[in-house]
Amino acid sequence: MMDYFTFIILFGFILQYSNVDSTSMQPTVKITQSDPPHKNRLIKGEIGKDVWMHCTVENLPRESQVKWKYRYFSKQGRPVTKEISSNFQIKGDNMKWAIESNSDFSYRLRVKALHINDEGNYTCYVQITDQQQEARDTRTIVARQTPIFDGEKTSSDENVAEGDEDVVLQCFATGRPSPTIVWRRQGNAVLPPPGGVERLGNKLLIKEVNYRDKGMYFCTAYNEMGVIKRNVELKVRYEPKVTQAELRIGQALGYQRTLSCFIEANPTPSTDTGTSELAWKKGTQILKTNDRMKTKAIAGAYGKLTFELTIFSVESSDYGSYECIAKTVLGQTSKSIELYETTEPQIDKGGKTSFSCRGSVFFDHF
C-alpha cells in the first residue's frame, strides 16, 4: 500500500506537468470572419462600403500585444508595410481604420469606406519575442465596384433619316473590374450587319441606316459585382413601305371580297379619311366608303397599319387592278392587287362569304 510520502511525491509530479504555464504555450491567431465573407483568404470589398475582419487570439502571453498591419505596393512597385494598431489603439489614420472588440480575445478591424488605395494584405499578429517570430493570419482585400454608366459618353435615343450616314450607338461604363459591354435588340432580333443577336464592345456601328434598323437596342454592362442595363431607341424617319397580302385575289360574282395591304412609315400616315394619306384606287378613281364598299385602316404595333378595301357584292365591273396608296411628307408609295373572277365563291376575311341577290344578303359558311 502506497505510504503518505510516496503519494505526496507523485502528486507533485502530476501538478508539475499538468499545470501548463500560459507563457510557455505558443499563441494562435486566426481571422475567423469577415464582411464581405472571404474565400481562399481573398476579400472582395465594394468601393465606398466598410470592410471588417474578426481576429481571435488564444494563449496570448501576458506582456504581448495583438497588432494589425497592412502591406501594399507603392506606385513604384515597392512593398510597403504600415502599422495599423496595437491592441485597441490605432497607430495610423483613425478616419480610415477602427478596432472593435466584444471580448478579451477578439480584435475586429474595420476598414472604413473602402478605396482603391486600401487594397493589400491585412495581417493580425502577435510578436513571439524570444523567437523573433510572429503568430499571424492574413487576408487580402481587393476593391470592387458594380458597373456605373458614363452618362456623357453613353447614347440617348437617336432619331435619324433613312439613308443618313453611319450611326454609332455608344455605351460606356466604369467599374472594377472593368465591365464587359454587350449589345442586343428587343426580342433578340438580328443586329445590323454583320448580324448576330449580340455584339461585344462599347460602340455599335450601323452603316447606311435602313428602316429595318429602327427599334429598341439594349446595352448591358456587367462584371463580377453586378449587371446594369440601358435602353437606346433608334427612330428612323422613312417614306411609306407598302406590301400586299396577295398579288392576285379571286372571287365569284355576287360575293364579298376584302383586299388588304400592309403599311410601315415614320411618320405614320393619318387614318383620317379627310387627309387622303391612305387611299384605294381603281384606274383613275379614288374609292370611298359607300353602300357597295368600305375602306378601313387598322393600327398595329410599332406604327404598322393594315389597310383594307371590302367589296360587299362583287360585280363584273369590279374585276381588275387596285392600288393601295400611302402618303406622308416624306413621299408616296403604292402597290397593286388584282381582283379576278372565279367560278366558285372564295372564303373572305373571318371565314364567311356573303352573296347578294336582289337586295337580299345570304351567308355561306365554309
Residue 180 placed within a domain: yes
Residue 7 placed within a domain: no
Chosen domain end from 111, 144, 177: 144
pTM score, whole prediction: 0.72
Distance (Å, rounded) from C-alpha 294 to C-alpha 289? 4
Residue 277, domain CATH: 2.60.40.10
Q: Do both 161 and 75 map to the same domain?
A: no
Q: Do both 156 and 254 map to the same domain?
A: no
Q: Do both 82 and 169 map to the same domain?
A: no
Q: Do both 224 and 296 map to the same domain?
A: no
The Cα diameter of the chain in Å comes to: 141
What's the pLDDT score for residue 253? 96
Contact indicator for 143, 47 with CB cutoff of 8 Å:
yes
- For 117, counting Cβ atoms within 10 Å of its Cβ (0-12 exposed, 13-18 middle, 19+ buried), the class is exposed
Q: Do both 211 and 305 map to the same domain?
A: no
Residue 45 placed within a domain: yes
Q: Do both 125 and 176 map to the same domain?
A: no
Digits of tens for pLDDT over the chain (366 positions)?
444 333 333 333 333 333 334 445 788 999 999 999 999 999 999 999 999 999 999 988 877 889 999 999 988 889 999 999 888 888 877 789 999 876 667 899 999 999 999 999 999 999 887 667 889 999 999 999 999 999 999 999 999 999 878 999 999 999 999 999 999 999 999 999 999 999 999 999 999 999 999 999 999 999 999 999 999 999 999 999 999 989 999 999 999 999 999 999 999 998 887 778 999 999 999 999 999 999 999 998 777 899 999 999 999 999 999 999 999 999 999 999 999 999 999 999 866 566 655 344 444 443
Chosen domain end from 209, 236, 263: 236
Q: Do both 225 and 292 map to the same domain?
A: no
Strand 320-328 versus strand 331-341 pairing type: antiparallel
Residue 108 placed within a domain: yes
Residue 138 placed within a domain: yes
Output the nine-digit C-alpha cell for 315.
360585280
Q: Do both 129 and 164 map to the same domain?
A: no
Residue 19 placed within a domain: no
Residue 266 placed within a domain: yes
Q: Do both 110 and 155 map to the same domain?
A: no
Terminal CA-CA length for the chain: 120
What's the pLDDT score for residue 24? 53
Query: In the beta sheet, which residues pair with residue 125?
Result: 67, 136
Domain containing residue 140? 26-144
Chosen domain end from 87, 109, 144: 144
Q: Do both 118 and 36 map to the same domain?
A: yes
What's the pLDDT score for residue 305? 94
- Cβ-defined contacts of 182-185 (< 8 Å, 24+): 182/219, 182/220, 182/222, 183/217, 183/218, 183/219, 183/220, 184/217, 184/218, 184/220, 185/215, 185/216, 185/217, 185/218
What's the pLDDT score for residue 1? 43
Q: Do both 350 and 275 map to the same domain?
A: yes
Contact indicator for 145, 175 with CB cutoff of 8 Å:
yes
What's the pLDDT score for residue 124? 94
Distance (Å, rounded) from C-alpha 358 to C-alpha 362? 11
Q: Do both 355 and 250 map to the same domain?
A: yes
Residue 348 placed within a domain: yes
Number of domains in the chain: 3
Quick one: how far is CA 298 from the chain centroid?
34
What's the pLDDT score for residue 75? 87
